[in-house]
A = this chain, B = another copy of it.
């Protein structure tokens, strides 16, 4: 009992004639005869009465036909859509806050011009969570800041942004060029551990034998900006967030010896996960993003 048998049964029922059913299916009458007989043997009863000039469904045949018609219809509908499976599968993106705010909108706008029908799902999470979600296969791609993660992943750097070490103009400070050691003794307003900026800072300090002991920790960069503006201390933030404040003179920029001044953005996907055409297109748009980035 295959779909083929069902197709042949339907053709015979519709033409009332083995020979014409065969012509419609581009096979020989003999093949039709075989197929119907196999079905009849399987059913244990005749499906057609053979009249002299035509065949006619028996009651059993009619019952069977009624059952197979919807099955055939489903399969044919499926067959028509199977080429477009990818176009109906949603893309799941996890992204850091900053990338989601400043890069992702442009990327997705460009992507959706090419693939307007792909549903897109964005989750904003920390870098560490992003990788975990990727590992579990719950997302197709992660856009994070910082270093390429260990594990079964493929990382593609696609942009970077400068970081500024800033404080309020009235924040009391001896010089605008600090050593690492001096920096560590200042009042530091920092992002939480696990965030790209903080992790990079911590590792640089660790290698130099220092430790940052922030007076203020926040998961939200905007809170750090406000704290810095109010003169509570020194913070490190992306140019996209503080560029305008610097030019307005509401914050001033410091420099610290040997301290990183930029953050890398990377797109990460699971090594073993198949790249669908839409996903490849998305990656292409991400890679083309460097020039768009601030």
Contact = CB atoms under 8 A, between A and B. Distances in A.
A56 B276 contact: no
Interface in A49-105: 49-52, 56, 58-60, 62-64, 67-68, 70-71, 74-75, 78-79, 81-83, 85-86, 88-90
A45 interface: yes
A46 B280 CA distance: 13
Contacts of A272: 49-52
Given A4-B2, A46-B276, A274-B49, A71 B63 contact: no
Interface in A245-294: 270, 272-274, 276-277
Q: Determine which residue in A4, A49, A90 has the highest number of CB atoms from chain B within 10 A of its CB, and name it.
A: A49
Q: Determine which residue in A43, A59, A83 has the highest number of CB atoms from chain B within 10 A of its CB, and name it.
A: A59
B83 A44 contact: yes
A207 interface: no
What band does the interface of chain A fall in when counting residues whose beta carbon is under 8 Å from B?
Answer: 35 or more
Nearest to A74: B71
Contact of A43 (B43, B44, B85): B85
A199 to B, nearest CB: 28
Contacts of A128: none
Contacts of A90: 59
A70 B60 contact: no
Interface string A19-38: 00000000000000000000
Nearest to A50: B272
Contact of A88 (B1, B49, B63, B70): B63
Contacts of A52: 272
Contacts of A74: 67, 70-71, 74
A131 B67 CA distance: 31
A137 interface: yes
Complex A-B, nearest 4 residue pairs according to Cβ-Cβ distance, in ascending order:
A46-B274, A59-B89, A60-B85, A45-B86
24 contacts: A1-B78, A2-B3, A2-B4, A3-B3, A44-B85, A46-B276, A49-B273, A49-B274, A50-B272, A52-B272, A56-B137, A58-B274, A58-B276, A59-B90, A59-B276, A60-B86, A60-B89, A63-B85, A63-B89, A67-B81, A71-B74, A71-B75, A71-B78, A74-B74
Given A1-B75, A2-B4, A45-B276, 9 more contacts: A1-B79, A1-B82, A2-B2, A45-B277, A46-B274, A49-B272, A56-B137, A58-B274, A60-B89
